[in-house]
Amino acid sequence: MKCLLIAMAIMVCDTAFAQFSNANHGRGKTHGSSIFDGNGPKSGYKGFVETGYTIGVGDAGDGRISAMTVHGYQINPYIFAGIGAGGNYFHKAEKWNVPIFADVRSNILDHSISPFVDVKIGYSILDVEGFFFSPSIGCRFAIGEKSGLNVSVGYELQKFKIEQSYSVYGYSGSVSAKGTCGGVAFKVGLDF
C-alpha cells in the first residue's frame, strides 16, 4: 500500500512537472534549468489550510471528514516546521475530535512544482481522544509568489479511548473502549 501511494505521488508530480517544462520550453527555458527555478516556498512565516477525507481501514476504521490549519516558519525552500489544529468528524460513530499537533514538511525541490513529505504528530481531544500521527506525501503547485496548492495522500493513525454510558433494566454504568482507528487520507489545501 505504501509503495502504491509513493508511486501515485511521483506520477502526479512527474506529469505536472512535464507539463510545466513543456510550457516553458517555448520561452527559451531548458528542461535542466527549470528543475530548480527558485520558485519554491520563501523563508518566513507560512500558514496552511487543508481539507479532506480519510477512508477508514481495519476493525475500528471509521471514515472521517477533516479540516486543519497549520502555522509556522519556512526555514528555507525545503524545510517547514509549525504547529496546527483541526477538526475530524467520524460519520459512522457520529463523533468529533480535535487533533493538536506539530508539523514538519520537506519540499524535495526549490521549484514551482515540487513533491513533498509531511509528518504531523500530536494528541486529539473531545469524543475520540488519544495519540494522533499522520505522515503523507504529495505535490505542491505554486499559484503565486507566496502561495501554493497542495495535494496529498497519506495514512492517518488515531488512538482512541471512548467512554459510553448505558442503562439496562434499571441498572446503569459505563463501558470504556480503547483501540486504534486508521485510514488512508486524501487532502487538498492552500499555503500562504
For 36, phi then psi, to 5°, come to -120, 70
pLDDT band at 26 (very low <50, low <70, confident <90, very high): very low
Q: What is the pLDDT of residues 69-121, one digit of tens each?
A: 999 999 999 999 999 999 999 998 899 999 999 999 999 999 999 999 999 99
| pTM assigned to the model | 0.76
Average pLDDT over residues 13-23: 50
Looking at residue 78, its pLDDT comes to: 96
DSSP-assigned letters across all residues of the chain: -HHHHHHHHHHHHHHHHHHHHHHHHTTT--TTTTTT-S-SPPSEEEEEEEEEEEEEESTT---EEEEEEEEEEE-SSSEEEEEEEEEEEETTTTEEEEEEEEEEEEES-SSSEEEEEEEEEEEEEESSBEEEEEEEEEEEEE-SSS-EEEEEEEEEEEEEEEEEEEEETTEEEEEEEEEEEEEEEEEEEEE-
What's the pLDDT tens digit per position in 31-55? 444 556 888 899 999 999 999 999 9
As given in the structure block, the three cell numbers for residue 152 are 496529498
For the chain, what is the mean pLDDT? 85
pLDDT band at 168 (very low <50, low <70, confident <90, very high): confident
User: pLDDT digit string (tens) for 132-156?
Assistant: 999 999 999 999 889 999 999 999 9
CB 90 within 8 A of CB 96: yes
* pLDDT bucket at 28, cuts 50 / 70 / 90: very low
